[in-house]
Every structure is written in structure tokens, then in C-alpha cells.
Amino acid sequence: MENLFHLQFDIKQVNAISAEGLAHIGDGVYELLCRSWLCVHGDQTVKTLHRDTIALVKATKQAEFAEQLLPLLTEEEHAWFRRGKNAHISVPKSATREQYALATGLE
């Protein structure tokens, strides 16, 4: 049986993933990281965990995090960020186009 939790991609396979695909993967990873952090540091009720997760994963908050992170990135990391940022996905009403681009790049 194939182990779906032990993924090994070479750089060619990663580079072949579309910007939209990277955004899709990044969205899930980012939300999992936020949920994990909240479980360790946040309130323990389902209601507050959900509310606090939503507050962290919304595009406007991700854009804030991205602006703090960008000065710390290497040139290679900036290239990955730009690739994710250029994904052509519809912008939610709660964020500006610029905020959403930053959020997508962060994911």
C-alpha cells in the first residue's frame, strides 16, 4: 500500500505544479499550522478554536504576516513567494487585490 503521508517530490515535480496548485496546497498547510498553534496556545473550545482559526487564515491577516516575513526571505524564497502570489484566483470581498496577492504568496 502506498504511504500517502510520506511524499517525496524532486525539484522538477515541484516546479511542474501550477501557481494555483501551490496556492491550494499552501492554503491547507497554512490552516493546519494555524490550527495546531491555536490548539497549543489558544482556547480549547471548538467554538473559539474555529473563530480564532478564521481570524488567522483570512486574507487580510495573511497579508499582514506576509509583509512582516518578506524582508526576511532569501532570493530563492522571494521567487517562490512571487510564483504563489501570481496565482489567478478570484479575490474575496473581504480583501483588496493586493492583500489577496500577498496572502496567496504567503500560502
Residue positions annotated with a catalytic role? 27
Q: How many CB atoms lie within 10 A of CB 73?
A: 14
Of 54, 55, 57, 66, give the one whose Cα is nearest residue 98. 66
Contact 100, 91 (CB under 8 A): yes
d(CA 42, CA 51): 11
Q: How far apart are CA 59 and CA 47, in angstroms?
A: 21
Q: Nearest to residue 22, comparing CAs of 82, 65, 62? A: 82
